[in-house]
Structure 1
Amino acid sequence: MTRRGSPCRAPIVAGKTRCRMHGGAGGSGAPAGNQNALKHGRFTREAMAERRALRALIREASETLARIEKS
């Protein structure tokens, strides 16, 4: 698509459904086994649950310290 939203007017590559600039050329796209697409783990369910539990523990410790200081 162009910036206007109309389809690209470049000729379609033989045997493909797109032009050479938008995915029809051989070898276009990400390489097989692309290592750049791997997740780093920061937003996995386990990591997020661990951070939530740690924040709750810190909050509880802060409240306990505040109660001790008042006494």
Structure 2
Amino acid sequence: MEIGTIWIIVAAFVILLEIFAIWHIIGSERRAERKMLWIVFVVYAPIPGLLFWLVRGPRAVKGRAVLEEK
């Protein structure tokens, strides 16, 4: 497999992860301003944005929802 093919596969994987993250950001219950900031961060800084979103984004929403149910 050529190096160019590997980079195309990596780029396609990152784009799929970005689409997944943006889908979850839009579906969250946060304010529109926060959603837009997350989307801009994920789109303009793909790798750091995705990593930071994985650490701070989904867990914060799930944790709050669990606390509100109790």
Structure possessing the higher relative contact order (Cα contacts under 8 Å, 6 or more residues apart): 2
Do they fold alike, i.e. is TM over 0.5? no
Task: Give the alignment's TM-score, normalised by structure 1.
Answer: 0.35
- The higher radius of gyration belongs to 1
Indicate the structure with greater helix content.
Answer: 2
